[in-house]
Amino acid sequence: MPDIERAAEVIRSCWREGSVIDYVQGALWPDSVEDGYAIQERLAGLRKEPVIGWKIAATAIAGRQHINVDRPMAGRLFESICHSDGDLISFGRNRMAVAEAEFVFTLGSDMPPRENPYSAAEVARCIASLHPGLELPDSRFRDFTQPGTAGLIADNACAANFVMGSATTETFDPAALAEHKTALYINNEIATEGQGSDVLDGPLDAMVWIANTLSDLGVGMTAGQFVTTGVTGKPVPIAAGDELRVDLGIYGTVSATMMP
């Protein structure tokens, strides 16, 4: 059994200090997904700040290959790491150093944990708005390919910084976003292109996955929170000074600049 309290304290310390640790298999780190989520939940308790959103990591094959995991992972997005369109964001010590273009949904109603799985139709009815999202993930492990699925879940699914754009004013059908195209620009040049089906079979499928994954853990999502559904296209390398822009076409754009 992992030392849940100690593991959460180590990750929190790394996050606060901008430091990293080496992954060494042993009693500190989890071997099971359930223990990974238990550490992540304890980390949230130690941070003592609002969870305003959720992220889904590794919904795409490219994302799973990038961090060496075997399935999607849910993570908490704390208020202090979420940013607005056009913000300047410190590149700092980000070692993962990639940007991701994502579809984001906000919730219009609560999705509490329950015994029966949520259906796609139920999840779609809970969605209040659609936004473009720009994720800038990172890990508290020096080599983020070593901890595996359980270890990176404990590391809050590699959450670091997230930028959300304004809600689209266009009418949208969550079930029809699988074919919708996306693009990520770096310094006004296209760095990667993707589409909704890159995240499982589409952003709505990703929402169903996180709703039921959290429900099985006894965790619910609440109205007003948002979910960023995972990378479309590929994670793209970035550097300090880069100007980033995610383009979801008719559904809007979101941008940020990486400061040294």
Local confidence band at 214 (pLDDT 50, 70, 90 cut-offs): very high
Per-residue pLDDT tens digits for 123-137: 999 999 999 999 999
Dist. CA 54–CA 82, nearest whole Å: 11
Burial of 169 from C-beta contacts in 10 A (0-12 / 13-18 / 19+): exposed
Dist. CA 242–CA 94, nearest whole Å: 14
Dist. CA 57–CA 174, nearest whole Å: 19
Q: Residues 99-131, buried b or exposed e (16+ Cβ, 10 A)? A: bbbbbbbbbeeebeeeeeebeeeebeebbeebb
Six token digits for residue 100 = 């991701």
This prediction has a pTM of 0.96
Q: What is the pLDDT of residue 62?
A: 77
Phi first, then psi: give them for residue 122, nearest 5 degrees: -65, -45
Which is nearest to 63 in space by CA: 180, 235, 179, 202? Answer: 235
Per-residue pLDDT tens digits for 14-51: 999 999 999 987 788 999 999 999 999 999 999 999 99
Residues 6+ apart with CB under 8 A from 148: 68, 69, 70
- Measured in Å, how far apart are the chain's first and last C-alpha atoms? 40
DSSP summary character for residue 229: -
Considering the chain, what is the average pLDDT of its residues?
96
Q: What is the pLDDT of residue 63?
A: 80
Q: What is the pLDDT of residue 179?
A: 97
Domains plus CATH for the chain? 4-259 (3.90.850.10)
Residue type (1 letter), 70:
D
Dist. CA 158–CA 114, nearest whole Å: 27
Query: Residue 26, Cβ neighbours under 10 Å: how many?
Result: 8
Sheet containing 87-90: give its strands across: 87-90, 253-259, 243-247, 181-186, 189-195
Taking residues 226-241, what's their average pLDDT? 96
